[in-house]
Structure 1
Amino acid sequence: MITIPQVVEKIVSTQPFLAEALVEGLINVSSLARKIQNQVEDTVKKPVKIGAIIMALNRLAPNLEVKINPGLKDVITNVGDIIVRSNLVDFTYKNSNTLIEKHTELLRSIGPNQEFFYTMVQGVFESNLVVSGSLQQKVEEAFTGEELVAKSEKLSSVTLKLPATNSQQLGFYYFILKNIAWAGINIEEVVSTTNEFTLVVNDSDIDKTFSVLKNMGNN
């Protein structure tokens, strides 16, 4: 039969935000106990007193620190090169029947030039392009007739080369974005592939962003 401490651990361990707040003492344990009381009772199928949940939470916090931090720290420590690009422009276009065709034609006209920064993400209703400033005129000409939803200039990007284990580590992206948010940095765009993670920010924030990402393993 599952016990109250086991249920509490399962609830907390599957929620990185909650687990971190509990470990760092940033959460009111009594309030948390009341919040998860119904979940605990539904699982153990009997009434459970708040005091029993509070006791389980207090006993759990030190164990969570041991279980959560090493795995996440190991992945963060093994983040590879950090690549910075500046003078970027961000375009967002409404999706259409001709957008992909124009995108393909634009790529052909650019050719395999590795000095350019060019990313495109197609969403359900709109597509986003972040490109080097030197390509701005080419993009605008290529997408003539398409509906421009938004455009931002004076942007920079920081790209992290990720270890292969990043996709298996719970809370990995949360850890990165938490540090960026705590530093007061506004993210313009996020571009992610299996082993790369790119943040696009305002030029004025690029130095701070690089510093935060470079020192993540020391947190």
Structure 2
Amino acid sequence: MKTIATCVEEILVSQPFLEDALTRNILNYSALAEELRDPISKMLRKPVKTGAIMMALRRYSPPKEMANKIKLNKALQNLGDITVRSDLSDYTFKNSPSLIQAHLRTLEIIKNDPHIFYTFTRGVHESNVLITTALKDQIEKFYDNEVCTAVQDHLSAITIGLPKENTKIAGLYYQFFKRLAWEGISLYEVVSTTNEFTILVEDDVVDKAFSAVKGLKN
């Protein structure tokens, strides 16, 4: 059976920014309770009083897993090098039987140049090619027979080295997404390997994004 407290918990869990602001005591309890009165009334199918919601908010205690929190803080403090690569272009192609051949042709021209930035990501229905813009003409030639659904130039990649135990830490990626969202930074693309995490942003926000990510280490 649902109660006001369980309704409050359900809403806060589904809106992590709201939960974060509440636990940091930077929200007006009275105003938030008033805002939640209608949705909670609908959830319970009966009218509820603002005072009861306010009491539930004050009593709310977010789930705390101390062991994971310690691991998370340690992982953030031990992030590896943060590198930035600019002058990148991103292509999105529909998957096809011949797409892999274009990928192999690309590998042939970059295999001896470690300075070229290149990623190829294959999804269920489409694939992404991210490459140094200097090779733009060659990429468009190799993929000439493929269906291109999107192209974006003037991109930069920020790559963060992750500690080896990162796969065992809940919420690590969320910290990056939350920090960037708080700064109002939109992500164009996300690419990751086991121990590296790369975000792709437009050039005009790369400095702001870099500062936000670097701030997580402090």
Asked whether the two chains share a fold, i.e. TM above 0.5, the reply is yes
Question: Match for 2:174: what amino acid?
Answer: Y
1:168 — aligned with what? 169
Report if the CA contact (8 A) 2:33-2:53 is conserved: no
1:44 — aligned with what? none
CA RMSD in angstroms comes to 3.4
Alignment partners' CA distance in 2, 1:173 and 1:196 = 11
Percent identical residues? 40
Question: What is the aligned length?
Answer: 210
Alignment partners' CA distance in 1, 2:169 and 2:36 = 27
> How far did 1:159 drift?
0.5
Report if the CA contact (8 A) 1:167-1:194 is conserved: no
Alignment partners' CA distance in 2, 1:29 and 1:67 = 27
Alignment partners' CA distance in 2, 1:121 and 1:173 = 19
Alignment partners' CA distance in 2, 1:29 and 1:175 = 27
1:139 — aligned with what? 139
> How far did 1:124 drift?
2.3
Q: Deviations over 1:34-66 (max 9, x none)?
A: 645787x7xxxxx9x765554343123xx5497
> How far did 1:130 drift?
0.8
Report if the CA contact (8 A) 1:23-1:65 is conserved: no
> How far did 1:103 drift?
0.8
**2:87 counterpart of 1:76:** no
1:157 — aligned with what? 157
> How far did 1:143 drift?
0.9
1:103 — aligned with what? 103
> How far did 1:7 drift?
8.7
Report if the CA contact (8 A) 1:88-1:131 is conserved: yes
2:88 — aligned with what? 88
Report if the CA contact (8 A) 2:92-2:148 is conserved: yes
> How far did 1:145 drift?
0.9
Q: Structure 1 residues 149 and 80, CA, compared in 2 at 3 Å: closer, same or farther?
A: same
User: Given the two structures, how large is their TM-score scaled by the length of structure 2?
Assistant: 0.76
2:180 — aligned with what? 180
Q: Structure 1 residues 202 and 29, CA, compared in 2 at 3 Å: closer, same or farther?
A: same
Q: Structure 1 residues 4 and 26, CA, compared in 2 at 3 Å: closer, same or farther?
A: closer
Tell me whether 121-130 or 184-193 shows the greater mean CA deviation.
184-193
Alignment partners' CA distance in 1, 2:81 and 2:168 = 18
Alignment partners' CA distance in 2, 1:94 and 1:26 = 45
Q: Structure 1 residues 122 and 194, CA, compared in 2 at 3 Å: closer, same or farther?
A: same
Alignment partners' CA distance in 1, 2:176 and 2:214 = 11
Q: 5+ residue gaps in structure 2?
A: none
1:59 — aligned with what? 59
Report if the CA contact (8 A) 1:88-1:156 is conserved: yes
Report if the CA contact (8 A) 1:99-1:146 is conserved: yes
Q: 5+ residue gaps in structure 1?
A: 42-46
Question: Match for 1:150: what amino acid?
Answer: A
Alignment partners' CA distance in 1, 2:7 and 2:159 = 39
> How far did 1:140 drift?
1.3
